[in-house]
Structure 1
Amino acid sequence: MTNEKVLSLSVRSVELGVRAATRWEALAHIGKTLETSGSVHTGYRDSLHARERRASTYLGHGMAVPHGLHVHDYLLVNPGLAFTRFTTPVPWDGERVSLCIAIAAPAAEHVEILCRITALLVHPTHLDVLRASEDPGEITRILREA
């Protein structure tokens, strides 16, 4: 996959100030957000939970990158990303997560998307924007440029 395809991947939702007590509650919220945004069919949130039970999607620096299992790609409608920032860090498999960038994309695109999201971690200014900006447009721009 080329970078051009990743750059055209839509940011379907930017949510700031979300409350969640557990990662399971956070995943349920994110799944609902992906459904509401038109990225996925109902049932994808179950796939998010199933993927998380296999291995934590915690990436580091207070960020998780939840995504569904590849066998559930048939639930994708309009692939995209959903960004969620929590009001207080959510316990996440022994870590604390403040930011989630959920991926709703076909299996063939996951590695490239994950690599580009991981690149955010080496750009402190980008990470600072994701952590603090109140402007969904600015957050969307950072995610598209990742």
Structure 2
Amino acid sequence: MALNWFKRQSKKKEILTRDGILVKMHAKDKYEAIEMVGKILVKQGKVQASYIDAMKARENMLTTYIGNGIAIPHGVGEAKDKIIESGIAVAQFPEGVEFGENQKAYLVIGIAGKGDEHLNILANIASACEDEKKVKKLINSTSADEIYEMLTEEVS
């Protein structure tokens, strides 16, 4: 299953857009990486700026590293009030970013899910990123367009 759900979700705005993807990024730590994806969500009008702090607070409670080189930072609880509309932002880190002991993320996917949409977003990300070959291609890609196409391709 691919993230084509993101393309179908809203007629007026996509949850994942090409300009919501950064490639070849470098971050000194997981908090800087979270800041990068959070700023994309803010710039796209998906969340209020204070949502970034909620993403970092969530990371302090429990890592958002899900394995296979992927982290999915997001805010929870009261942070839901900071979400304007659902969206995701992707940052690719070819050298990786430490999200914990033996937990290096090469793809950091910031999530903002309005209402209960966060559950669908998380499920779709998990499905799309369980294929190790596909994740490797995402990590090694040099193009936001290529990453967008891989994450939104239709699956038969």
TM > 0.5 fold call: yes
The corresponding residue for 1:101 is: 109
Displacement, 1:28? 1.8
The corresponding residue for 1:44 is: 51
Displacement, 1:141? 2.6
Q: Distance in 1 between the 2:94 and 2:129 partners?
A: 20
What are the residue-to-residue correspondences of 1:60-139 with 2, within 5 Å? Answer: 60-94=67-101, 95-139=103-147
Cα 1:11–1:121, aligned 2, differ >3 Å: closer, same or farther?
Answer: closer
User: Unpaired segments of 5 or more residues in structure 2?
Assistant: none
Q: Secondary structure at the match of 2:32?
A: helix
Q: Distance in 2 between the 1:99 and 1:121 partners?
A: 10
Displacement, 1:127? 1.5
Instruction: Give the conservation status (yes or no) of the 8 Å contact 1:70–1:107.
Output: no
Cα 1:92–1:112, aligned 2, differ >3 Å: closer, same or farther?
Answer: same
The residue type equivalent to 1:56 in the other structure is T
Q: Distance in 2 between the 1:131 and 1:87 partners?
A: 6
Cα 1:144–1:60, aligned 2, differ >3 Å: closer, same or farther?
Answer: same
Seq. identity, %: 28
**Superposition misfits of 4+ residues, deviation over 6 angstroms:** none
Instruction: Give the conservation status (yes or no) of the 8 Å contact 1:51–1:67.
Output: yes
Q: Distance in 2 between the 1:107 and 1:70 partners?
A: 11
The corresponding residue for 1:16 is: 23
The corresponding residue for 2:33 is: 26
Instruction: Give the conservation status (yes or no) of the 8 Å contact 1:83–1:102.
Output: yes
Instruction: Give the conservation status (yes or no) of the 8 Å contact 2:86–2:114.
Output: yes
Normalising by structure 2, what TM-score?
0.80
| 36-45 or 118-127, which deviates more | 118-127
Q: Relative to total residues, which structure has the larger strand share, 1 or 2?
A: 1
Q: Secondary structure at the match of 2:91?
A: strand
The residue type equivalent to 1:78 in the other structure is E
User: Unpaired segments of 5 or more residues in structure 1?
Assistant: none
Q: Relative to total residues, which structure has the larger helix share, 1 or 2?
A: 1
